[in-house]
Amino acid sequence: MNKSHLQINFRMLDKPQHHVLMLFLFLSALPHFFHLSVAISLFFVCILLFRLFTRLLSRGEHPRWMNFIFLLTGLIIVVTQYIGVIGKDFGVSLLVAMLSLKILEMKTYRDAYVLLFLTGFMLVTHFLYTQEMFIAFYVFTLAFLMLYIFLWLNQLQQKASYSHLFFTIGRLSLQALPVMVILFIFFPRLDGPLWGFDQQGGLAVTGISGNISPGSISQLSKSSATAFRVKFDDTDNIPAPELRYWRGPVITDTDGIDWKAEDKPVVAKIRYQSLGEAVSYQITAEASNEHWIFALDLPASIPTETFITRDYAVRAKEKIKKRTTYNLVSYPQYLANTTTPQQLDAALALPDIVTDRMRAFVDTLKRSSDTNEEFVQSVMNHFNTDNFIYTLSPPALLENPADEFLFDTKKGFCEHYATSFVLLMRIAGIPARVVAGYQGGEWNPAGNHLIIRQSDAHAWSEIWLGDKGWVRVDPTTAVASERVERSIDPEQFQEGAPVVFKIGADGFLGRALQQAAFMADALDLNWHRWVVGFSRERQNYFLRSTGLDFLEGYKLGISAFVLSSLAIITMVILFRGKVTDHRDPAKKLWDKFVQKLVKRGVACKPGDGPQTIARHAGQILTEQKDSINLISAIYIKARYGKQVSPEQFRILKKLIADF
Amino acid sequence: MPVNRYWNMSLFPNSSPGDSNPGFLAAIRSRNFQQLFRSAEPDKEGHMLIGAKKIYILPTRFGLMFAALVLAMLVGSINYANNLGYLLTFFLASIGILAIYQTWYNLLNLEITFLPVKPVHAGQAFQLEAKMTNRLDRPRGAIQLYSESGKAVTSHDIRADSITNFRVTFITSARGWYSVNDLVLSTQYPLGLFRAWVYLKTDIKVLVYAKPALQWDVPRTAIYALSAQGSKGIGSDDFVSHRNYRHTDSPKQIDWKIFAREKGLMTKQFGGDRNEQLWLSLDLLPDEPLETTLSMLTRAVIDAANEGVEYGLRLPNQEIPLGQGIQHQTDCLRALALFGIKAGDE
């Protein structure tokens, strides 16, 4: 369209620009190296090095036909690595390959722009793999660098002042931030994707599953990874630690070794009686690749994307593949006295591994107790008094875990106690089942929320006591009552040694470290609540709580547009530059002179030239005509000619002062 | 009250007085589509202030590519319900929108003063010098000045609160007035995504003398020897006039007093008893085409001035009496340059 375009477009990139562009490209692709195939990453790095060396050594261009070979190699690598899988990885690999080929052609300003745009698109693909805070920081830093390079390319001065570039882009970014935030909050979110995709298939995460076997929970307990976080609506009314049972899969079926939750649970309704106050809270679950949502015992109100089973376990309809926040209400005190005969039958089913030793043991205790409650108490007492040890690393149980644990090793973790307790109950004719979940949780004062870690994984029992309904019994408390009051410290355990519980941190450093850890955790939760997990529901929640819930559908879109426009205008006004009053010194003097003339009654219109004014003034102030003419003559020379001597300027100054 | 709108800034300052937008129909009729566009005009003092309404702005091809990038990122973010994707998309979109303003602002309230241009001979180049005054407390990057009909583009960064001189070179071809009225001031700063430009209606006219012929010996008929008038009493080394110094002149002839007054190097010319008078006219070359005649007369004027003879010029429409000196030479060259060119073109 215009030659001024062309001149810029074909301007050659200089060496520092070349190197910064290559560094930028490398940094932009870097996080992808960790999940893309090694071949693609190597290809990219090789091309980058090739380009670097050909430029450094020969300063020349490689032959054109080599580009063709590189193109072919790149395509072959992408196709062979991701054959049959046209997905995210394929697309990103193709992008990386395309970028590396573009590097080979990088010569001019225009090439740099095309390259930067491609890289800009690659930056956003990082978020498909991880949405952690550090990657966001990394990507935004690179986006800043991208703008920096844009500005650099547009700078004419050979020696660009880097701090000036930095501040210019910094100012621009500062202006953009509020606009970005407004768009982010108000931009309407869709419910589903525009087209189908399988997000993060085959994710390997640790967490409680529907299967419990000896060692499965103690294995989890060695991990301090966060399972979920809980934010209570009323922070003054939080259930005590011993009431914080986070209910996961409820398991009735067993062969005596493995305990398995129902594969296809039936959707049920909640039909228990609440006894105490309701607790409402939000659970922010980490990706688990499972369905379980660990509601506080017992859940009463659940979000729409979940359902509840007949044994009151909450399940998400889809597997939890990314961090998600759920709103729930629970009653920590309840009377769950409804059940079905099928449920009771299932809860009485005995596996084949029940030994005579176990039956004899139950008979002995049963004879000495009048009621079921008394029987339960005597089993608990047995655990407490008969040298049972609570340990994360119990000795291996070979053929009959329950029998060997109860009578030989007597060392176990919560799943050993819970499962063997349930078996003993069933032998005695009391319907019983195992509940897996988490217990307790650590209070984060920095974020006012509870952190539940994998090390808080727990298993307990529920027994049917007729009128009292399903009652929670935690046999672990019989051996280690601290377990329900304090969390296990996963960093402090030795093989076979009794579990160490967390007590408050000691010393200044310890407390400071603990504080820092709490802050980081709070930041992480808020990051999720307000950024990564800002879904349609969170958006609605935000709008409701700010009284803006009348903005629905298209109105929300319009408000996003209007508000962001207002933000842009505000930013433009706030950041507009100042105009300094460094007029031409001659002009300053002349303006002063004109003001004096106006005082004397000479009418000067704005826009009148100095000659017009001088002629006009000369007619009115006839006796000062000479000095007026002299002043205007020197002024015209100073303003319209190239320069006046300092002496002449002094004369002008004096003449105007004396006037 | 004095004009003080240069530093009395608002976001959308009033455009300079005398909005020059001739009628739409008038422009169509005259097929001068340039007139359809607004252009910046000088005020009575000859200063130009780039007003808000004079600035045009459109995305460059990079701007369109950038928009495509943001759109692609938005579609991806919506599809994957990726909030960080949204964030980056909205960040870049905001930057893109703000860049419109930044580019526009880069030209706003820039003050331009064109310095006078000395006449040149046809075929020579002249440099138009524009003084660009930036009164902002921040630099204006990559400002370009060019003539739409010319080839060269002059680009400079203008530092905060400072003045930078831009020079645009024009090559003349014919005698008469060379008018400069298709200057464009443009910028793509800061990000190259948008291009803002202003048409400058400068109405600068540069006088172009006729191209001097390489050599022409004035026929004897043009020379009259009038020794009586030439006698000035004392002798052959009478001071006659000044002329510009040439490097072949003897230093003894330089007028050092003038030099001391910073008025440049001038050579004192001395005349003697023999004083020739030279009358130049079109009649001396009846057979040549007019342009050739004018170019030969131009040569004669230059030579005569150098040799220090008295000369006069007779043209059909005017007569310049005998005389000497720089002003006289300028008058003669001007008369030759504008001979036959309608006054209305001036």
Asked whether the CA dihedral A138, A141, A146, A152 is positive or negative, the reply is negative
What is the structure's pLDDT at B68? Answer: 96
What is the structure's pLDDT at B346? Answer: 43
What is the structure's pLDDT at A501? Answer: 61
- Is residue A200 predicted with pLDDT exceeding 50? no
- Is residue A581 predicted with pLDDT exceeding 70? no
- Is residue A148 predicted with pLDDT exceeding 90? yes
* Of residues B284 and A483, more confidently modeled: B284
Confidence of residue A198 (pLDDT cuts 50, 70, 90): very low
Q: What is the mean pLDDT of chain B?
A: 79
Confidence of residue B15 (pLDDT cuts 50, 70, 90): very low
Do the beta carbons of residue B128 and residue B154 sit within 8 Å? no
Q: How far is B219 from chain A (nearest CA, A)?
A: 41
In angstroms, the CA B199 to CA B183 distance is: 6
Confidence of residue A59 (pLDDT cuts 50, 70, 90): low
Q: Which amino acid is at A605?
A: K
- Is residue B271 predicted with pLDDT exceeding 70? no
Q: Do A114 and B4 touch (CB under 8 A)?
A: no
What is the structure's pLDDT at A130? Answer: 85
What is the structure's pLDDT at B153? Answer: 80
What is the structure's pLDDT at B258? Answer: 76
Q: Do B45 and A610 touch (CB under 8 A)?
A: yes
Which of A3, A4, A108, A587 would you mutate first to test chain B, the one with the most B CBs within 10 A?
A4
ipTM: 0.75
B265 touches chain A (CB under 8 A): no
- Is residue B222 predicted with pLDDT exceeding 80? no
Instruction: Enumerate the residues of chain B whose CB falls inside 8 A of the CB of residue A196.
Output: none
**Residue B225 three-state SS:** strand
| One CATH from 3.40.50.300, 3.90.640.10, 3.40.50.720, 3.10.620.30 for A211-484 | 3.10.620.30
What is the structure's pLDDT at A117? Answer: 94
Least confident of A75-79, A160-164, B67-71, B211-215: A160-164
Q: Do B90 and A120 touch (CB under 8 A)?
A: no
The residue in chain A having the minimum alpha-carbon distance to the alpha carbon of residue B113 is A640
Which of B10, B62, B64, B263 would you mutate first to test chain A, the one with the most A CBs within 10 A?
B62
Write the pLDDT tens digit of every residue in A331-389: 888 888 888 888 888 888 888 888 888 899 899 888 888 888 889 998 888 888 888 88
Angle value at C-alpha A184, between A180 and A189, nearest 5 degrees: 150
Of B94, B138, B151, the CB nearest to A176: B94
What is the structure's pLDDT at B4? Answer: 37
Residues linked to residue B145 through DSSP beta bridges, in sequence order: B154, B185
Phi, psi of B85 (to 5 degrees): -60, -45
What stretch of H or E contains B67? helix B61-79
**Which residues 60-99 of B are in CB contact (within 8 Å) with A?**
60-62, 65-66, 68-69, 72-73, 75-95, 97-99
Write the pLDDT tens digit of every residue in A627-640: 888 888 888 877 76
Closest CA to B184 of A1, A421, A591: A1
Of B46, B138, B153, the CB nearest to A640: B46
In angstroms, the CA B313 to CA B333 distance is: 10
**Which residues 28-57 of B are in CB contact (within 8 Å) with A?**
43-46
- Is residue A606 predicted with pLDDT exceeding 70? no
CA distances from B111 to B2, B40, B107 (A): 17, 11, 9
Q: Do B90 and A187 touch (CB under 8 A)?
A: yes
Confidence of residue B16 (pLDDT cuts 50, 70, 90): very low
- Is residue B233 predicted with pLDDT exceeding 50? no
Instruction: Enumerate the residues of chain A whose CB falls inside 8 A of the CB of residue B191.
Output: 147, 150-151, 154
Instruction: Enumerate the residues of chain A whose CB falls inside 8 A of the CB of residue B7.
Output: 579-581, 583
What is the structure's pLDDT at A433? Answer: 92
**Residue B279 three-state SS:** strand
* Domains, chain B, ordered by start: 1-209 (2.60.40.10), 220-345 (no CATH)
What is the structure's pLDDT at A451? Answer: 84
Q: How far is B145 from chain A (nearest CA, A)?
A: 9
* Of residues A644 and A406, more confidently modeled: A406
In angstroms, the CA A187 to CA A185 distance is: 6
The residue in chain A having the minimum alpha-carbon distance to the alpha carbon of residue B186 is A4
CA atoms within 13 A on the CB side of A2: 21
Q: Which amino acid is at A9?
A: N
Confidence of residue B248 (pLDDT cuts 50, 70, 90): low
Write the pLDDT tens digit of every residue in A201-215: 434 456 777 777 777
- Is residue A453 predicted with pLDDT exceeding 90? no
CA distances from A55 to A15, A115, A178, A556, B125 (A): 9, 18, 42, 52, 40
Write the pLDDT tens digit of every residue in B85-128: 999 999 999 999 999 999 999 998 898 988 888 999 998 989 99
What is the structure's pLDDT at A607? Answer: 67
The residue in chain B having the minimum alpha-carbon distance to the alpha carbon of residue A602 is B1
**Residue A315 three-state SS:** strand
Q: Do B75 and A156 touch (CB under 8 A)?
A: no
Read off the DSSP letter of residue A409: I
Contacts by A594-603, CB closer than 8 A, 24 or more apart: A594/B2, A595/B1, A595/B2, A596/A656, A596/A659, A597/A621, A598/B1
Of A154, A564, A584, the CB nearest to B142: A154
**Residue ranges covered by each domain of chain A:** 3-160, 211-484, 585-658
Q: Strands of A234-361 (E only): list them.
A: 245-251, 253-254, 259-260, 273-274, 279-285, 292-293, 295-296, 299-301, 306-308, 314-316, 324-330, 334-335
Q: What is the mean pLDDT of chain A?
A: 82
The residue in chain B having the minimum alpha-carbon distance to the alpha carbon of residue A592 is B2
B195 touches chain A (CB under 8 A): yes
- Is residue B293 predicted with pLDDT exceeding 80? yes
B343 touches chain A (CB under 8 A): no
Of A131, A195, A583, the CB nearest to B6: A583
- Is residue B269 predicted with pLDDT exceeding 70? no
Average pLDDT of B13-25?
A: 47
Cis preceding-peptide flag for B190 (omega within 30 of 0) = yes
What is the structure's pLDDT at A1? Answer: 39
Q: How far is B266 from chain A (nearest CA, A)?
A: 20
Write the pLDDT tens digit of every residue in A220-263: 776 777 888 898 988 888 888 888 899 999 998 888 788 888 87
What is the structure's pLDDT at A636? Answer: 80
Sole residue written with tokens 């000497």: B324
Confidence of residue B70 (pLDDT cuts 50, 70, 90): very high
Sole residue written with tokens 């880069």: B106
Q: How far is A50 from chain B (nearest CA, A)?
A: 28
- Is residue B18 predicted with pLDDT exceeding 50? no
Instruction: Enumerate the residues of chain A whose CB falls inside 8 A of the CB of residue B115.
Output: 640, 642
Q: Do A609 and B84 touch (CB under 8 A)?
A: no
Q: Do B6 and A612 touch (CB under 8 A)?
A: no
Tokens of B75: 């579609």
- Label each residue of A622-650 as H, E or C: HHHHHHHHHHHHHHHHHHHCCCCCHHHHH
Instruction: Enumerate the residues of chain B whose CB falls inside 8 A of the CB of residue A153.
Output: 192
Q: Do B84 and A173 touch (CB under 8 A)?
A: no
Cis preceding-peptide flag for A298 (omega within 30 of 0) = yes
Terminal Cα distance for chain B, rounded: 33
Closest CA to B90 of A407, A385, A344, A560: A560
What is the structure's pLDDT at A125? Answer: 92
Instruction: Enumerate the residues of chain B whose CB falls inside 8 A of the CB of residue A140.
Output: 88, 91
Write the pLDDT tens digit of every residue in A256-291: 788 888 877 778 877 788 888 889 999 988 888 888
Write the pLDDT tens digit of every residue in B25-66: 665 666 666 667 788 888 776 788 888 888 999 999 999 999
In this structure, the number of other CB atoms found within 10 A of the CB of residue B234 comes to: 7
Which of B87, B164, B183 would you mutate first to test chain A, the one with the most A CBs within 10 A?
B87
* Of residues A41 and B245, more confidently modeled: A41
Chain A to chain B Cβ contacts (< 8 Å): 215
Closest CA to A187 of A557, A632, A459: A557
Instruction: Enumerate the residues of chain B whose CB falls inside 8 A of the CB of residue A139.
Output: 84, 88
- Is residue A390 predicted with pLDDT exceeding 90? no
What is the structure's pLDDT at A178? Answer: 95
- Is residue A497 predicted with pLDDT exceeding 60? no
Instruction: Enumerate the residues of chain A whose CB falls inside 8 A of the CB of residue B142.
Output: 154-156
